[in-house]
Amino acid sequence: MEDKKTQKYELGFLLDKEEDVQVVMKYLADGGAQVSTKGNATHIALSYPIKKHDKAYFGWVRFVMPTESAPALANALRLDAKVLRTLLIASPFEGESKAEFNPRTRARKPVAKEMSNEVLEEKLAAMKSEAK
């Protein structure tokens, strides 16, 4: 029996009813997913209507599944009328190169050394003399 290549995924979803979480979990089981973490479905107000709904249940799941099953899972969820919206991403779990994906750490610039007023005034005078 050959080994199937697996990938770690995160799935976020919006549902009309809280009990429809079982529908999502069934799709995951059918795709061979091994669920590692699951968030409780939370009732939220949507920023804009989705399929004529202004409120929905938001839930998320982290899991590992064969890579060839992911497109079928995404398609099945998209076609199910009980699922309002989904987002499926391949993602590292917590503790795995977390800083690499944090936009705040990437955007930071090195902090300049503090300067005395005398040094700043000298630099300003030099800049003024160059501008003339």
Question: Would the pLDDT of 57 be above 70?
Answer: yes
Confidence of residue 125 (pLDDT cuts 50, 70, 90): very high
1-19 residue pLDDT tens: 456 788 899 999 999 999 9
d(CA 83, CA 28): 14
What are the boundaries of each domain within the chain? 6-107
Candidate CATH numbers 3.40.50.1110, 3.30.70.60, 3.40.630.30, 1.10.10.410; the one for domain 6-107: 3.30.70.60
Residue 15's CB: how many other CB atoms inside 10 A?
Answer: 22
- The CA–CA distances, whole Å, from 83 to 3, 30, 74, 91, 110 equal 32, 16, 11, 22, 45
pLDDT value of residue 3: 60
DSSP 98-131: TGGG-HHHHH--PPPPP--HHHHHHHHHHHHHHH
Question: Would the pLDDT of 114 be above 90?
Answer: no
Confidence of residue 68 (pLDDT cuts 50, 70, 90): very high
In the block, which residue shows the tokens 């300049």? 112
DSSP classification of residue 28:
H
